[in-house]
Chains A and B, each alone.
Chain A
Amino acid sequence: MNLWQRLKFWRLWSRRQAREAELERELRDHVELEAEEQREAGMSPEEATYAARRALGNTAQIKEDVRTAWGMQWLETLLQDLRYGLRQLRRNPGFTVVVILSLALGIGANTAIFTVIDAVLLQSLPVKNPSKLVLLDSGPDQGTDSGDPYVGRWPALSFDSYQYFVRHNESFQGIAAFRKGTDPLEVRWPRAASDGQAEQAVGHLVSGNYFKVLGVTAGLGRVFDPSDDVPNARPTAVISYDYWQRKFHGDPSAIGRTVDLNGSPFTVVGITPPEFFGERMFERPPDFWIPITFQPEIMQRESWLTRKDMYWLNFIARLKPGVTRAQAQAILDVQLRQFLEGQVGGKHSEGIKRAINQAYIQLDPGQNGISSLRAHYSASLRLLMGIVVLVLLVACANVANLLFSRSATRQREISMRLVVGATRRRLVRQMLTESVLIAIFGGAAGLLLAEWGVPLLATLLSRDLVLSVTTNSAVLLFTLAVSVLTGLVFGLVPALRVSRTELGEAMKGATPTGRGSRSAVTRGLVVLQVAVSLVLLAGAALFARTLVDLENQNLGFNRDNILLVQTNPRLTRLKAADLDSLYRQLLDRLNNLPGVRSATIAYYSPMSGHTSTTGVTVQGYTPHPGENMEVNENQVAPYYFETLGIPVLLGRPIGPQDTPTSPKVIVVNQAFARRFFHRQNVIGRRVWVGHESYPPPAEPPQEIIGLVADARVHNQDQKPQPFAYMPLSQDPSFFAGNIEVRTAGDPSAAAAEIRKAIRQVDSALPIMSIQTLRRQVYDRLNQQRLVARLSVMFSLLALILAAVGLYGVMAYWVSRRTQEIGIRMALGAKKSDVLRLVVGRGLAVTLIGTGFGLGAALGLTRLMASSLYGVKPNDPLTFIGVSLVVVGVALFASYIPARRAANVDPMVALRHE
């Protein structure tokens, strides 16, 4: 409530109080005047007053009617109902605790998942008016591309195409470019700031108008302007608020300092505001922003600004008022084709013309920024949301059942109120107010649970999560809405029951009416609970089996006892020609360490999530027209196959004899051999790597010297793809930074030794990370693990709630039939007969629920077929297993009340009435 609303509310309230007083006075006047009249007619003063009061009738009722006429009645009623509801809850603390706990679990799960969904899928960039922003590509970074222009969607731009769009801009207030992906920085602060030691940081190359387009102004100093991003500009950098706090503890003298970034000096001109983190959500945000004109210095590469065939830029642009994203996109499409035609020149073939006409730009909404998490997790999060909604449904059924049995015991109270004149509508309203009140308490408790669960979820989602996933107003609103809706759902059944209460019957005795319909409803609710839990369990079991299958997948390499060290030789200022000697020194040094079995270097480390493909031309293989000739590639140093434990089936592995000057060689895997050679001998065959065109080019091909077994080095669930391994030494353009070391013992224990050895070879070689290969493989399944764990957890929660529901129904049933059981036992029934009677009843309900559940599960699990691996969606073993679990739990839940029934003393039971 803002101040104005609050004022209005209080004015209303005080006016209300005054009106009440007036009404009181008016009625008093009336009685007085009436009494006066009666006295004049000859009554005694006492009699007269009495008669006058009687003539007026029930003043409380009149006041109520008058208030209805005022139209503020609903508020009054609501407050009254709330007070009454609170009293009811206080009176039954046991009931209250069970109900609120059930709801807290259900609502808490929903809030937790929604919080993550809100953060990952819904939150906007913290910049000015983010809804007006558009992105060339909002997907996760696919890296840079070089070569021919794209045919089809353009997800990246070259520098000159970006400039073309800027020159011909019609739709945007501004177009800002930034490099796809971030760059590792080696940072050296002069003097005291860091003892001259180098440290790692993240840098991002952005155009000079980047901050202006986003509408971000400096927290301190200034942000870039276009003059920072021109050839021969003074090198400047903007640092992030977080970095400034970490490094300078908020000291403003950071501005104006010179810092060495990857070997070149830059002047810090400003600090971003605290909430700004770039256009990327949920990745490690940049510490430094640098104008793109300094790309060669930052990347330690040749200039990409002049290369027309290098596609490395994304852009974010702000739409002019009144221009839609679709309009802007249509204009860009035309401009893109004009740009391409200009590049090709006047004359071009039909094929090129067609290719140009197929090129297009698809703008993505920019308000949520770029997020790899969004792309990876949106399906999983939606699925989890579905799961928690079902859990909440089970919790609702539980609470409805509890409320229902309580409404039976409240029958007398309700009848009494009907007799004294309460309308049914009023009573239903009151019951609903009570259940919504309960639900709101449950929601509040659920918020607390979520508060505890969300950080856990967030760490499961992403290990280097930088942004905090927080409870914001959207989450609170969601929880409130869910709570109120929940309250209405589970309160409806008992409330409607009130409206059907038969007055006379209810007043007569303690026996609640409509027993048949009551037990039908409660049993129906239990059937629903059992069925939903079974569906959830079946889904969870399938996910769990998928995870186990993937974890135990034979990857084709040995993941144990390998330490991965990630370095970056680009940051050493070595020339490409010096790399081979660096590699040799590293391998010599590492392979001679006592605890090391073998060590190697590769461009990509296995299961890192990074890969690249290259086109090939294979001697003796004629591709079909349009056949995709791309294969996976990796550039590896000697001992790669030995270190990873990938068996060499034929020929020899890449070894020290493969040097920059020796004949060019290549090792392929079985999938490669199968695809191109049909199991014929592959050794000695020739391949042109990097050339897709046929016939092969004039330059000398690479000769296949070895055949290795298939290995899954990218994904656990992917079939082995054709793979080409090339010697690292034979292509100096690859600055490979992934060192793999097989150790004799625990790889983590050898980390310090290995780190020291690398330092000794080249102290300038930065070590970005060290971890075991086992860990890297494990992390590759984080998403599947998250889904499997959470779905198992939630389905068990649902099962427990269902068991509590069944227990409640059976316990109630037993308590109502104590007398009948007593009679049976008096007539000779044994304890085992009674046990069988009660358990059998519980079992019957469970079996019906299981039947429905199996049917629903068979239909629903088919939808998740694409997320499963190694197990079919209708896997009979899984379905039998979960059915047995459900039945087992149900037996246990009905056994407890059954045992109580069996222990009934017939004499006590019969005397009961």
Chain B
Amino acid sequence: MTTSKQIADRLELMQGTLDMLILRTLLLGPFHGHAIARHIQRTTEDVLQVDHGSLYPALHRLERKGWITAKWEMAKDRNREFKYYRLTPAGRKQLASEHSKWKLLVASIGRVMEPAQEN
């Protein structure tokens, strides 16, 4: 059972951020849903907890917007098919735009939070 201590260490993902993280992950190549969640968690050293419940609705939403496509493909390491998602050119563009927006946001917040570094 997850304890309350562990919950406190982890951060809830902001709405919309998950989409960007999924797109960024898929930049590395095709992944299935579980692998995407695992990749985000591992990369952030388990700080960002991907709620599995919201992962799949997000994937289907991105697919409907045409930013990613899905295909049932044979896994390399085992003899069965998984649903693999991959980035479309439109998704690549969307990622770029969200990335720059995110950078601007982080920089702006940073200036407010740590004004000393400005000088």
Give chain A's interface residues, CB within 8 Å of chain B: 22-23, 25-27, 29-30, 33-34, 37, 55-58, 61-62, 65-66, 68-71
Contacts and interface: CB of A to CB of B under 8 A. Distances in A.
B64 A29 contact: no
A55 B56 contact: no
- What 3 A-B pairs have minimum CB-CB distances, sorted nearest first? A57-B53, A65-B57, A69-B60
Nearest to B80: A29
A56 B53 CA distance: 5
A29 B83 contact: yes
Given A30-B34, A37-B38, 7 more contacts: A29-B32, A29-B34, A34-B34, A34-B52, A62-B57, A65-B54, A66-B60
A57 B32 contact: no
Nearest to A61: B53
A26 B53 contact: no
Interface string B51-78: 1111011001100100000001000000
Contacts of A37: 38
B51 A26 contact: no
Given A26-B33, A29-B32, A34-B34, A66 B56 contact: yes
A421 to B, nearest CB: 13
Contacts of B52: 30, 34, 55-57
Nearest to B58: A69
A614 B111 CA distance: 102
Given A22-B83, A30-B33, A33-B34, A71 B64 contact: yes
Contacts of B61: 69
B60 A57 contact: no
A65 B55 CA distance: 10
A741 B32 CA distance: 101
B12 to A, nearest CB: 14
Contacts of A68: 57
Given A26-B83, A29-B82, A69-B64, A62 B53 contact: yes
A57 B51 CA distance: 9
- Identify which of A26, A61, A68, A71 gathers the most chain B CB atoms within 10 Å of its CB: A26
A22 B38 CA distance: 21
A34 B64 CA distance: 26
Contacts of B60: 23, 66, 69-70
Nearest to A53: B52
A25 B72 CA distance: 11
A34 B53 CA distance: 13
Contacts of B34: 29-30, 33-34
A29 B37 CA distance: 13
A57 to B, nearest CB: 4
A584 to B, nearest CB: 96
A70 B57 CA distance: 9
Contacts of B64: 69-71
Interface string B8-37: 000000000000000000000000111100
Contacts of B32: 29, 33
B47 to A, nearest CB: 17
Contacts, number: 50
A398 to B, nearest CB: 44
Contacts of B83: 22, 25-26, 29
Interface string B82-100: 1100000000000000000
Contacts of A65: 53-54, 56-57
A379 to B, nearest CB: 56
Contacts of A66: 56-57, 60
- Identify which of A27, A34, A57, A65 gathers the most chain B CB atoms within 10 Å of its CB: A65
A27 B53 contact: no
Contacts of A22: 72, 83
22 contacts: A23-B56, A23-B60, A26-B33, A27-B56, A29-B32, A29-B82, A29-B83, A30-B33, A30-B34, A33-B34, A34-B34, A55-B52, A56-B52, A56-B53, A58-B53, A61-B53, A65-B53, A65-B54, A66-B60, A68-B57, A69-B60, A69-B61
- Identify which of A33, A61, A70 gathers the most chain B CB atoms within 10 Å of its CB: A33
A506 B53 CA distance: 31
B48 to A, nearest CB: 15
A295 to B, nearest CB: 74
Contacts of A34: 34, 52
Nearest to A52: B52
B54 to A, nearest CB: 7
Contacts of A62: 53, 56-57
A62 B51 CA distance: 11
A58 B51 CA distance: 11
A69 B57 contact: yes
Contacts of B35: 33
B70 to A, nearest CB: 9
Contacts of B57: 62, 65-66, 68-69
A65 B61 CA distance: 10
Contacts of A27: 56
Contacts of B56: 23, 26-27, 30, 62, 65-66
A536 to B, nearest CB: 54
A29 B35 CA distance: 11
A56 B54 CA distance: 9
Nearest to B35: A33
A458 B57 CA distance: 59
A665 B52 CA distance: 110
A70 B72 CA distance: 18
Nearest to B82: A29
A23 B52 CA distance: 14
A34 B33 CA distance: 11
A67 to B, nearest CB: 9
A74 B34 CA distance: 29
A237 B98 CA distance: 83
Contacts of A57: 51-53
A355 to B, nearest CB: 76
B62 to A, nearest CB: 9
A30 B31 CA distance: 12
A55 B60 CA distance: 19
A605 to B, nearest CB: 79
Contacts of A33: 32, 34-35
Nearest to A36: B34
A26 B71 CA distance: 11
A60 to B, nearest CB: 11
A447 B73 CA distance: 56
Nearest to B52: A56
B33 to A, nearest CB: 6
Nearest to A58: B53
- Identify which of B53, B56, B61, B82 gathers the most chain A CB atoms within 10 Å of its CB: B56
A25 B53 CA distance: 15
A69 to B, nearest CB: 4
A205 B34 CA distance: 86
Contacts of B38: 37
A150 to B, nearest CB: 71
A33 B31 CA distance: 13
Contacts of B54: 65
A34 B57 CA distance: 18
Nearest to B72: A22
Contacts of A58: 53
A58 B57 CA distance: 13
A61 B55 CA distance: 12
A55 B61 CA distance: 21
Nearest to B50: A55
B72 to A, nearest CB: 8
Nearest to B32: A29
Contacts of B33: 26, 29-30
A66 B32 CA distance: 16
Nearest to B64: A69
A314 B72 CA distance: 76
A25 B83 CA distance: 9
A47 to B, nearest CB: 11
A48 to B, nearest CB: 14
A26 to B, nearest CB: 5
A27 B51 CA distance: 14
A247 B76 CA distance: 87
